[in-house]
Amino acid sequence: STAEKPVLLNNVADAEAFVSGPEVAVIGFFQDPQSPEGEQFRRVAGQIPEVPFGLSSSAAVLSHYGASANTVALFRTVDNDRRDLDMSSGDVDTEKLTRFVRMNELRLVTEYNPVTSIGVMQSSLELNLLLITDKMSPKHPERMRKFRAAAELYKGKILFILLDSNLKSNERVVSYFQLKKSQLPALAIFHTPDDEHDVLTLDEISIERIQDFCNRFLQ
64 and 99 fall within a common domain: yes
Q: Note whether 120 and 82 are same-domain residues.
A: no
The verdict on 160 and 181 lying in the same domain is yes
Q: Could you list the residue range(s) of the whole structural domain that residue 165 is in?
A: 109-218
Amino acid residing at 189: I
- Within a domain: residue 74? yes
Give the residue from 87, 104, 121 where a domain finishes: 104
pTM score of the predicted model: 0.85
Beta strand residue intervals within 42-157, DSSP E: 53-56, 71-76, 81-86, 109-111, 127-133
The amino acid sitting at 122 is: Q
In a domain, 1, yes or no: no
Give residue-wise pLDDT tens across range 19-32. Answer: 998 999 999 999 99
Confidence label for 3 from pLDDT (cuts 50, 70 and 90): low
Query: Which pairs with CB-CB distance under 8 Å and at least 24 residues apart come from 8-11?
Result: 8/54, 8/55, 8/56, 9/54, 9/55, 9/56, 9/58, 9/61, 10/56, 10/58, 10/61, 11/58, 11/60, 11/61
Domain count, the chain: 2
Answer yes or no: are the C-beta atoms of 70 and 30 closer than 8 Å. yes
Q: What is the CATH number of the domain that holds 72?
A: 3.40.30.10
Does residue 93 share a domain with residue 38? yes
Domain boundary among 104, 130, 153: 104
pLDDT tens across 37-56, in order? 999 999 999 999 999 999 99
Q: pLDDT digit string (tens) for 87-133?
A: 987 777 899 999 999 999 999 999 999 889 988 988 989 999 999 99
